[in-house]
Structure 1
């Protein structure tokens, strides 16, 4: 993904790139990567667990309500609430269903036997079909939802170059961030843009905090928080 973004950023005429943050993949920080042997794998897992525990030991449990987060976005960051477009609303419902109601999802397809081209293609078709079924389920989800969208400027070195968005669902506690920008002909380093977006996201997630239950059960909120703490610790 980084190579694709970098390539697009360098293409003549490329003027707008969107970057998604706060999705459901933070666990990859601690579990990603291939290992050459079980012994090396054990050492890697032990090191990852040690790093994870160091962050956990620094956490003081205390989780703010979604209403408090909304107030923080408006009063401290100058965010404004926006109307939700249909496409974003559908995506939010899809993500909420995947994150909080996995028991409602159809089983994930698997490749049986040797990974031949035909079997992989069949598996890919089944994956696409599964996503479509989940999207249909999310759209017709019989649940009370209070979806919110907040927008604030994405500022790099004192100059606004895009918008930062915060998606929220008030009942489940779903929170996700994304940002988009248009660099035009300006000489802006992509790393500075990414850092600006991640800094905002980290501040919001840290402000919200974690409950003891999040830490004990290692919820999606826990992994988002852990990822942001790791990011802030590197800065």
Structure 2
């Protein structure tokens, strides 16, 4: 297996692009008078903050569709969290807990599907708001999130095709870096998704502890 660190280059480029977009978001927010930061709890993904630059013509007429595509963005956050939750089961496929083993096998089988579903949902969500609310400063944090997500998907796609020990490390690192950028864009939805993912990890730990304390039957003992 190769050990060249050149596989980090696409990830570094994606993170650099995301960082520039976030910086531009902060700049545009300061110019428009709206303070930068995560969306308020009622905002969700795709909501327009109070300090937005301007409302695009006809924006009110798209309210119904906007809610649908905003919901798709919120769903993508939780689907992404479900895909990331495979991390807790990665080394638990031989866990003493039957529930952990079964859940781990299920998540392992669905990990790629969940990843692609996240990418598709984010793309659909993003295209809609690029068309209808291009001047919203939150567009830049959305693009930053998508840049990192695209890199995550790319590494996930090539992870079994490029035999390099760094591929999985880059894939996981990008997943972690995606969280703060997404938090800036989606706010409370991301917080809830992160809490849910951490709760899964805690549950796995508890189930393993319980299974480890359960006395094993002695052969021949009745």
Fold agreement, TM-score > 0.5: no
Structure with the larger strand share: 1
RCO higher in structure (CA 8 A, sep ≥6): 2
**What is the TM-score with the length of structure 2 in the denominator?**
0.25
Structure with the larger helix share: 2
**What is the TM-score with the length of structure 1 in the denominator?**
0.24
